[in-house]
Chains A and B, each alone.
Chain A
């Protein structure tokens, strides 16, 4: 009787240990994705704030221009991948509009404040790209693991599904360059 119990315990252990290992690996991967995701939030918020400051500086020089009505999209923590993609796209457009507007004011372009903000924007863009790449690398590892056997069975039992990537345009894949 005792030996039967031992055999049963061993069989249960043999069956459950790999399940626990897979679940732990999934949990670790999800934590990594969450960390990378919050890095993107930080970078997006920083970029939004810097861009807002930049717009204020530009407005100071171009008070009477109607083109100064540039809207900078609001960003918040915990946005979905799609919302993030849209926000990044919108911030890119705003950056380009501000840059074009500033081109008409050589004094502005040569001001120290403007140049400092330009560098800050370049830096936040670089941080954003780093966060996006790290997020995508973690998502890629997670998605690959999710479709592999036997993780796929445990994953579907846990209700896990493939994560969405953060897309990057060809320009975003290039290193940041700014005309200072």
Chain B
């Protein structure tokens, strides 16, 4: 813990230093540039000095930026080792982590429950795999965005992508999209309408095998999906390969931290625990540990 706090202070000090030096270097470079532009007719000495100062400044600022980033990455890694790993061990079993990577783009793209197609920028990190009540889960942060016609960045998805072992075995796939453009899908041959009017109004179900949709989405399970979706907001589901993929759009990352604030182990652990509790809530709410059929 002390080591982590030391690491945080070290990072903040070096960032402060980098910023200060970068400011000085930038000012020198600007003054040199102004001097060069004001010097008419230009002589060779001033030109050479201006070029050297600008090149050296650029290199220095670039190096500073790189150092700043790697120091941040180092602190981020330590934070996960000290805080996150501890909480994970306390809450789950069979844990595997790779904080530098996430669930891969190919998997997420093929599921079609979040926008991650051609032309979208995709990033995923903080991968965690584990077990709770004998249910295997995987989770990672996912960000996807695209540029509009005016070049503005539009965020398509920012939240968590979960994969849970499902409690039924099945072939085929069923997609359940919350608050999606229903009109687009209504004419699709895959469109499925269930008996629950409220569910039909708020969700879009797509499945080639309609029997499978009814098999997975039992009236009881539909109630659970509604409860989950109303609790978390933007939630989409895909049932495939005896697993359920759940994408939750909440504008948050799993293991966010504030590097400026003094580190408080209890507070930080509690924050991480709260975020990870969503895994438990999903497993419990959807009764994924109920192995009646497996």
Bound-state Cα–Cα, A137 to B219, Å: 13
Q: Would you list which residues of chain A between 118 and 153 have a CB under 8 Å from chain B?
A: 119, 122-123, 126-127, 129-131, 133-134, 136-137
Task: Check if B188 is an interface residue, CB within 8 A of chain A.
Answer: no
Task: Check if A73 is an interface residue, CB within 8 A of chain B.
Answer: no
* Interface 9-mer from B106-114, B210-218, B249-257: B210-218
- Chain A residues in 8 Å Cβ range of B292: 119, 122, 176-178, 180
Contact of A175 among B212, B221, B294 (CB under 8 A): B221
Task: Check if A49 is an interface residue, CB within 8 A of chain B.
Answer: no
Smallest CB separation, B185 vs chain A (Å): 17
- Chain B residues in 8 Å Cβ range of A136: 195
Which residue of B is nearest A126, CB measured? Answer: B215
Which residue of B is nearest A128, CB measured? Answer: B215
Q: Is the CB of A174 within 8 A of B214?
A: no
Task: Check if B220 is an interface residue, CB within 8 A of chain A.
Answer: yes
> Count of chain A residues with Cβ under 8 Å from any Cβ of B?
21
Smallest CB separation, B104 vs chain A (Å): 32
Given contacts A126-B218, A131-B211, A175-B221, contact A137 B293 (CB under 8 A): no
Q: Would you list which residues of chain A between 159 and 177 have a CB under 8 Å from chain B?
A: 173-177
Q: Is the CB of B220 within 8 A of A130?
A: no
Q: Would you list which residues of chain B between 215 and 238 have a CB under 8 Å from chain A?
A: 215, 218-221
Q: Mark B196-220, 1 if CB is under 8 A from A, else 0.
A: 0000000000000011101100111
Smallest CB separation, A37 vs chain B (Å): 12
- Chain A residues in 8 Å Cβ range of B210: 134
Interface secondary structure of A, over-half rule:
helix
Tier of interface size on chain B: 10 to 19
Contact of B218 among A39, A119, A129, A180 (CB under 8 A): A129
- Chain B residues in 8 Å Cβ range of A122: 292-293
Q: Is the CB of A134 within 8 A of B219?
A: no
- Chain A residues in 8 Å Cβ range of B169: 123
Question: Could you say which of B194, B214, B221 has the most chain A C-beta atoms within 10 Å of its C-beta?
Answer: B214
Q: Compute the total of residue contacts between A and B using a CB distance below 8 Å.
A: 46
Q: Is the CB of B293 within 8 A of A39?
A: no
Task: Check if B7 is an interface residue, CB within 8 A of chain A.
Answer: no
Given contacts A119-B293, A122-B293, A175-B220, contact A137 B195 (CB under 8 A): yes
Q: Is the CB of A130 within 8 A of B218?
A: yes
Q: Is the CB of B211 within 8 A of A134?
A: yes
Task: Check if B168 is an interface residue, CB within 8 A of chain A.
Answer: yes
Smallest CB separation, B70 vs chain A (Å): 52
Q: Is the CB of B293 within 8 A of A126?
A: yes
Task: Check if B193 is an interface residue, CB within 8 A of chain A.
Answer: yes
Smallest CB separation, B171 vs chain A (Å): 12
Bound-state Cα–Cα, A177 to B291, Å: 10
Bound-state Cα–Cα, A122 to B292, Å: 7
Contact of A173 among B214, B215, B219, B221 (CB under 8 A): B219
Bound-state Cα–Cα, A178 to B290, Å: 10
Q: Would you list which residues of chain B between 275 and 294 have a CB under 8 Å from chain A?
A: 292-294
Contact of A131 among B214, B219, B293 (CB under 8 A): B214
Given contacts A119-B294, A122-B293, contact A127 B195 (CB under 8 A): no
Interface residues of B (CB under 8 A from A): 168-169, 193-195, 210-212, 214-215, 218-221, 292-294
Give 23 A-B contacts (CB < 8 Å), ordered by A residue: A119-B292, A122-B293, A123-B168, A123-B169, A126-B215, A126-B218, A126-B293, A127-B215, A129-B218, A130-B212, A130-B214, A130-B218, A131-B211, A131-B214, A133-B214, A134-B210, A134-B211, A134-B214, A137-B194, A175-B218, A176-B292, A176-B293, A180-B292
A130-B214, A134-B211, A136-B195 given; 6 more Cβ-contact pairs under 8 Å:
A126-B168, A127-B215, A130-B212, A137-B195, A173-B219, A176-B293
Which 5 A-B residue pairs are closest in the complex by CB-CB distance? A130-B214, A130-B215, A175-B220, A134-B214, A123-B293
